Structure 1
């Protein structure tokens, strides 16, 4: 995909070597604001096509966070995710692992309530089981 992009934009020619790979209309490197502008432009277009699937808040950071969560859920080692995100410390990346565990627990609780809304969960009646589950 990158090779096609470079050929379409003549970036393989020697005269284009001093310019950034991705640039604005003034042939300068994209700024943080420029990237945000492009993202918002395409989010607005996508909302017109299918507003139900586009989150209310979309930012570059939310895309970064989503990618990290998808990598984690796909079984990618936290060390590799740390390197991809550019974190110095693995503790920073572990936030994603804790968030993933919380999301799984909330999904199970929500599914249980939808299936049997008037039934008290067994683990809430059995104090030993509850204590054992909390030990995880």
Structure 2
């Protein structure tokens, strides 16, 4: 009886990390936010990690604004946090590298950029 349990446990750890608990819906929403922020449809996305089970749920992904950049060379990170994992996701915060945008930030320009992204996302999810 112990062998099947052990084999199952080993099999669970052998799976790639991004095959477990990923959320394609959250990932697509974050990609949409990133494209809106950079005002382009041609954003190259590298590695994507999503965490629908966290509070707040979120996505972290590498990206490049240059076409043809290999994922291994992408060092810029875009992160999104949402109020919930189900649609409508309601953007709670997003970060571009080390600069974060939220509804209650101190910087007026960053707060405005956040409001713009939230409005665009709300329009897209209707």
Relative to the length of structure 1, the TM-score reads 0.27
Relative to the length of structure 2, the TM-score reads 0.29
Which has the larger strand fraction?
A: 2
